[in-house]
Amino acid sequence: MSDFQPKIVAFCCYYCAYSAADLAGSMRLQYPPTVRMIEQPCSGRIDIRLILQAFEDGADGVYVAGCLEGDCHFLKGNYRAKLRVAQAKKILNDVGIGGDRVEMYNLSGSMGPRFAEIAHEMHERIKKLGPSPLNCKAQSGPPEQKAGPIAAGQQ
Amino acid sequence: MIIAEQKSFDEIAKMAANFDKVLLLGCNECVTVCLAGGEKEVGVLAASLRLLRKQGDRPLTTLEETITRQCEWEYLDQIEKLAEEADCIISMACGVGVQFVAERFPDKWVIPALNTKSAGGSVQHGVWEERCGLCGECILYKTGGVCPVARCSKRILNGPCGGSQNGKCEVKDVDCIWDQIYKRMAALGRMDWLMEIELEKDWSKARDGGPRKLVREDVMISE
C-alpha cells in the first residue's frame, strides 16, 4: 500500500483557502500533488451531495477549507459548512466509506504555510486509511448488506 | 404541515437490498419544508445507497424525482413512465404519500423512507414542534389559540394538573401548556372563560372513532 497515491478533493473558499493556496505557491511551499482543489465562492456553498459525489467519482478523501470562524466573508457560511461536513461524516460512516475521509478546516488567506500543512495532513491521513472502499477492487461485498424481512419476501 | 423524519439509513438499505433499480420519489410539500424528503434529501439518499451498493457486487441504479405532492393522483400520473422503469419505489413522503403511491402503482413494491411524526411547524431552523392533535373538533377558541389536545402531555381539557411546576410539565421536558393558556387568557382579559368546566370530549371524532373520511358534495365533479 506504500505506493498508494490518494485522490483528495479540496473544496476551497475563494476568500481564504484559495488565496492561501496561491500564497503557498508564491512562497514555493511544497505540498502533495494528490490534492485537487475546487474553488468555491464560500465554504457555505458546500452541499452534502457534492461531498458524496466526489466519493462516487473516485475520491479517497475530501476536505472543505473555509475562513476562520467569525471571519466568513458571507458571515455564516463556514459555520454551515462545518455542520454539513459533520453530517457528511455520519452518512459516510453509515454507508461504510468512513467519516474520517472527510474533514473541515479553517484558515485565512494569509496562511499559506498552513494551507500546505493541511494538504500534508490530509494526504497522510488518507494514505494511512488506504484507498476508498469503492476503489478497492478486492472488496467482496458491501458491509452489512443483508435483506430485511420485508425485502426478503420480494422478488 | 406534516412533520416527518428520515428512517435510519441501515433500515432503508435493508428494505431496498433486493432491488437493482429504484425510484426515489420526493415530495415538494411538507417533507421538503421539514428537510426530510425534498429534492435535496432525495439526492443525498440516492447517493448514499449507490455508495453502499457500489462496494459490493450488486450495484444499484437510482432514478430520482420530486413531485409537487405525492398525495394527489394528478401529480403521480406524471411519473407513470418513470415508475414503470423501476423495480421498486422508495417514497420520501409522509405515510399519506406512501399509500397514494402504492395505490397508484399497484404492481410496484413501495418502501417508506420516512417516519411520519406529527402535525406541527418549525419554531426555529432545525426544530419542529407538534401543534395539532387532529382530534376532529377544534377547541382552540376556548383556550386562546393554544392546543391542550396536542400539547398537554396528559391531554387535559381542564388544566393545569397537579404536576405543573414553574411552568414546566412533569411528564416531559416541555412547557406546561396549561400555564401558557392561563398566561395568554390573562393577557387577553378572558380569564372568566377558563372558569367554565369543559365536559368530556367526543373522541369518536378523532382517530378513536375509526378511519375518517370527509365528503363534500359541493366540490365534487359530476360525471
Is residue B221 included in any domain, yes or no? no
Mean pLDDT, residues B54-72: 96
Is residue A28 included in any domain, yes or no? yes
Sort out which chain A residues have CB atoms less than 8 A from B50's CB and list them: 56
pLDDT at B9 over 50: yes
Alpha-carbon gap: A92 to the closest alpha carbon of chain B (Å): 8
B64 reaches A (C-beta below 8 A): no
Whole-number pLDDT of residue A2: 65
Sort out which chain A residues have CB atoms less than 8 A from B9's CB and list them: 91, 94-95
Q: Give the structural domain span for B146.
A: 133-209
What gap in Å lies between CA B121 and CA A64, rounded to an integer?
32
> Within this chain, do residues B150 and B63 fall inside the same structural domain, yes or no?
no
CATH at residue A83? 3.40.50
Is residue A150 included in any domain, yes or no? no
Is residue B43 included in any domain, yes or no? yes
User: Where does a domain end: B58, B89, B118?
Assistant: B118
Confidence of residue A136 (pLDDT cuts 50, 70, 90): confident
Is residue B56 included in any domain, yes or no? yes
* pLDDT, mean over chain B: 96
pLDDT at A155 over 90: no
The bridge status of strand B2-6 relative to strand B114-124 is antiparallel
Q: Which long-range contacts (CB under 8 A, 24 or more apart) does A103-106 make?
A: A103/A61, A103/A62, A103/A63, A103/A64, A104/A43, A104/A63, A104/A64, A104/A65, A104/A66, A105/A17, A105/A63, A105/A64, A105/A65, A105/A66, A106/A16, A106/A65, A106/A66, A106/A67, A106/A68, A106/A69, A106/A78
Is residue B145 included in any domain, yes or no? yes
Whole-number pLDDT of residue B206: 94
> Within this chain, do residues B114 and B138 fall inside the same structural domain, yes or no?
no
Is residue B154 included in any domain, yes or no? yes
Mean pLDDT, residues A104-113: 97
pLDDT digits (tens, 9 = 90+) for A72-101: 999 999 999 999 999 999 999 999 999 999
Whole-number pLDDT of residue A84: 97
Q: Which long-range contacts (CB under 8 A, 24 or more apart) does B172-180 make?
A: B176/B152, B177/B146, B177/B147, B177/B148, B177/B151, B177/B152, B178/B148, B178/B152, B180/B146
> Within this chain, do residues B151 and B100 fall inside the same structural domain, yes or no?
no
Whole-number pLDDT of residue A137: 53
> Within this chain, do residues B203 and B156 fall inside the same structural domain, yes or no?
yes
Is residue A113 included in any domain, yes or no? yes
Cα-based distances in Å from A128 to A3, A55, A61, A103, A137 = 12, 17, 11, 15, 18
Instruction: Report how many domains make up chain A.
Output: 1
> Within this chain, do residues B50 and B152 fall inside the same structural domain, yes or no?
no
Mean pLDDT, residues B168-188: 96
Is residue A54 included in any domain, yes or no? yes
pLDDT at B62 over 70: yes
Query: How much is the CA Rg of chain A, to the nearest whole Å?
Result: 17
Q: Which of A55-64, A105-114, A132-141, B159-168 has the lowest mean pLDDT?
A: A132-141
Q: Give the structural domain span for A22.
A: 8-136
Mutate to test the interface with B, among A50, A51, A52, A139 (most CBs of B within 10 A): A52
> Within this chain, do residues B150 and B114 fall inside the same structural domain, yes or no?
no
Count each helix (H run) and each strand (E run) in chain B, helices first.
Answer: 8, 7
Whole-number pLDDT of residue A59: 97
> Within this chain, do residues B204 and B112 fall inside the same structural domain, yes or no?
no
One-letter amino acid identity for A39? E
Is residue B215 included in any domain, yes or no? no
- In chain B, % of residues over pLDDT 70: 100
pLDDT at A138 over 50: no
> Within this chain, do residues B173 and B66 fall inside the same structural domain, yes or no?
no
Is residue B128 included in any domain, yes or no? no
> Within this chain, do residues B114 and B152 fall inside the same structural domain, yes or no?
no
**Do A148 and B15 lie within an 8 Å CB cutoff?**
yes
**Do B14 and A143 lie within an 8 Å CB cutoff?**
no
Alpha-carbon gap: A144 to the closest alpha carbon of chain B (Å): 8
Which residue in A49, A133, A154 is closest to B55 by CB distance?
A: A133
User: Where does a domain end: B118, B141, B174?
Assistant: B118
What gap in Å lies between CA B183 and CA A79, rounded to an integer?
37
Residues 100-119 of B with CB under 8 A from A: 109, 111
Residue B41 neighbours by CB under 8 Å, 6+ apart? B6, B26, B31, B35, B92
CATH at residue B72? 3.40.50.2300
Whole-number pLDDT of residue A145: 46
Is residue A141 included in any domain, yes or no? no
B203 reaches A (C-beta below 8 A): no
B187 reaches A (C-beta below 8 A): no
> Within this chain, do residues B80 and B108 fall inside the same structural domain, yes or no?
yes
Whole-number pLDDT of residue A44: 96
Instruction: Report how many domains make up chain B.
Output: 2
pLDDT digits (tens, 9 = 90+) for A2-59: 689 999 999 999 999 999 999 999 999 999 999 999 999 999 999 999 999 999 999 9
> Within this chain, do residues B82 and B174 fall inside the same structural domain, yes or no?
no
A96 reaches B (C-beta below 8 A): yes
pLDDT at B12 over 90: yes
| Partners of B22 in the β-ladder | B62, B88
Which residue in B18, B56, B58 is closest to A154 by CB distance?
A: B18
**Do B44 and A142 lie within an 8 Å CB cutoff?**
no
Write out B93-156 in H/E/C secondary structure: CCHHHHHHHHHHCCCCEEEECEEEEEEEEEEECCEEEEEECCCCCCCHHHCCCCCHHHHCCCCC
B40 reaches A (C-beta below 8 A): yes
User: Where does a domain end: B57, B90, B118?
Assistant: B118
pLDDT at B178 over 90: yes
Is residue A151 included in any domain, yes or no? no
Mutate to test the interface with B, among A46, A76, A90, A94 (most CBs of B within 10 A): A94
> Within this chain, do residues B6 and B111 fall inside the same structural domain, yes or no?
yes
**Do A140 and B56 lie within an 8 Å CB cutoff?**
yes
